Structure 1
């Protein structure tokens, strides 16, 4: 016991001070005197009391910060809604939380059916790494859903409306995102119609392993209305999607880390995505996402991932989608630095999946 230890050490006097704040007590601090040491003076007791108060404040701040990060991660997960059930395509999504609480931020994915029956895909990242970033992510996500749902407008028009709404009705900081419409074949090929507001480009992977970053549609980040006044804009981009191809949307934590520049991360993603696509066979797009994350383990930052796989030519419904399983992060290691959002890089368009890993 506390008293037995005091006697065992030969203590003859002790100063006992609480470790507490106004609302909560975390324990006590005991400082004993033994041998010929004199008893504590009033000044020493006052100093120990001040130390106890400061330690209590540190412990309370740590508790509050931990609770805030738990709220942020819970908010993110609640907003990552189940994927819609869509004929002809298979979909999968993953959210990989940051191992470090300081890195929990504003990454999100979204997929929903518009009023005209077309499927919308979104991947985005609000600037910041805290509860406020998660709250702003919720704002931007819900604004985009509301603006896009019943307006049969080009993605570029939706982006203008979203930018105006964020600028004039929200205190959300800048955000990067890709907003896309996946338009059904109706006797022709599947097509992607999208814009990119400063986000890493979508990756298109064919069934034989060829990969290509869709670099079109680039414009300024959301929340940079001043850039629009300078003549920058979001050009609409269109792309035909080959049968059995995979469209991959992701956030920058998948390709960027403190010890790996983004160009190398983009090359690594292309390489492994191509290899996995060639070997996919009868396995699902869920398997593709899981194996991709296992090969490219996020290194500290949170990651959102959204993948869509098209059916073979002439094939009907490929089955319904299901909500993504809870994400795990057993491979997260060091927290990366985040490059300036929206920086655009040039990347080779085709990879040979037989080549070695760019990092090996």
Structure 2
């Protein structure tokens, strides 16, 4: 295709209208899109009107190869524009006179109509997209609302989880404290020790200060106690007194105490069976926490049980010591023989044991020194010990010697108290005779100290324990015991320790006997104390201890 071109002179408005109409037809025939064509014609019309106003101009139009239509307007305001035509123009370009003015006006309306139609399509498409955008916005808003609701629900769940974890941790902490405090209170059977430990456990975390009042305490009369404390003691119900109601679970509310009107008080009864006292706590802060109060109620209950147990233990201990000491003999005063004894109850337990010592004269003038130990502890052991002591004296009155007495005791215990055993050692001192006759039934060996300080452990065969289910006759042994000699009879509690065997304890006692000087032996009671001191250096012993010292003297 060869290029086609033409120059149009634009001198009047009619020329401008014809030029616009011709170019409108050419661009329409070339397939230029409506919107692009309308923009071109609008710009062209404006330029032509300006050119006419300025006195005229030449308009050059050329259709080039490649489907390009070039338009150049000369004049005061030169203007050039190139259009890409989908359908290339062929043949010569029409002249300016080929189009009438009427055709130009009608052509402009056609362009306007085409533009309006395109605009209507665009508006319809815009309306459609606007509606679509509205629906999308509604969906986005709904999605945002759902996301916000989900986020709120998640925050609520997280808050609930944090709260649950905090409550669980608080409950764990309270239960741990309750368990540890209970262990501390129950570890002691000393009434005063428990009362001393309560404030140590509760202050300052759970109470500002702690007071324990017992109904039988005569030092502080009820009139000087808080009204809530007295009410708790009288009713047996926990009481809260403060400037504001506590609303605590299981606790009655009372007005503030006149003794401390601004301080909330929690008064908890103590006692397992009956109310024996009241534990009064001052709040560590402005008020008591309900969950902590539940723990304190349980702790007070357990403290009451511990105090009851301690009081019962102390009563039983006192009774046991009285019973035990009632069984111990007042040592006789005999010419030619000096006696000294010591009895120490165990440092643990109820102190009711089966250890005993005895010394008494026989009808022939001799003196029997006895020491024994019934196996086990408790009231039964103490009762059997009393029976053996009584039976032994009865057999001795009949004139029996140590070996025969033990044989009879063994027979009695084996038949009357099966499965209960005892050890025993008997030494008979006869005035005017420089020796001692002894016999033993499963008992630790006696230790003799001569007047010159030599120490000897009596190694004679002791015989079986009393009560072993077999027939047995006990042998008697004779030991030379010059004047000034000392014989030590003792129970195994003196020489036996868990950390060492009984043999080591016997050797230690023999060494202590040998270490006694003449001045120590001048006072046999002092000698007994001197022997106990090195043997009990640890001050703790799990068994009762009996020690009976027998020293021969001039008549």
TM-score normalised by L of structure 2: 0.48
Q: Does 1:27 align with 2:267?
A: no
Give the C-alpha shift of residue 74 in structure 1.
Answer: 1.0
Match of 1:70 among 318, 325, 335: 318
Counterpart residue number, 2:428: 181
Give the C-alpha shift of residue 70 in structure 1.
Answer: 1.7
CA distance in 2, matches of 1:244, 1:60: 52
CA distance in 1, matches of 2:298, 2:418: 39
Between structures 1 and 2, the one with greater helix share? 2
Counterpart residue number, 2:360: 112
Match of 1:166 among 413, 431, 439: 413
CA distance in 2, matches of 1:9, 1:125: 64
Give the C-alpha shift of residue 117 in structure 1.
Answer: 1.5
* Contact map agreement 1:11 1:33 (CA 8 A) in 2: no
Change (3 A) 1:37 1:258: closer
Write the mapping of 1:138-217 to structure 2, written as runs, cut at 5 A: 138-148=386-396, 150-170=397-417, 173-185=420-432, 189-217=433-461
CA distance in 2, matches of 1:89, 1:34: 72
Counterpart residue number, 2:474: 234
CA distance in 2, matches of 1:175, 1:9: 67
CA distance in 2, matches of 1:89, 1:131: 34
SS in 1 for 2:533: helix
> What are the ranges of 5 or more consecutive residues in structure 1 without an aligned counterpart?
318-360
CA distance in 2, matches of 1:272, 1:245: 15
SS in 2 for 1:219: coil
* Contact map agreement 1:182 1:191 (CA 8 A) in 2: yes
Rg larger for: 2
Residues 213-237 of structure 1, C-alpha deviations (whole Å, 9 max, x = no match): 112251111111x232xxx542221
CA distance in 1, matches of 2:406, 2:415: 14
Give the C-alpha shift of residue 78 in structure 1.
Answer: 1.3
Write the mapping of 1:35-46 to structure 2, written as runs, cut at 5 A: none
* Contact map agreement 1:217 1:236 (CA 8 A) in 2: no
Counterpart residue number, 2:466: 222
May I ask how many residue pairs the two structures share in their alignment? Answer: 299
Residues 80-134 of structure 1, C-alpha deviations (whole Å, 9 max, x = no match): 1211111112111111233334454211110001122111110111112333322
SS in 1 for 2:246: strand
SS in 2 for 1:227: coil
> What are the ranges of 5 or more consecutive residues in structure 2 without an aligned counterpart?
1-225, 230-238, 252-267
* Contact map agreement 1:33 1:39 (CA 8 A) in 2: no
CA distance in 1, matches of 2:533, 2:428: 29
Counterpart residue number, 1:251: 491
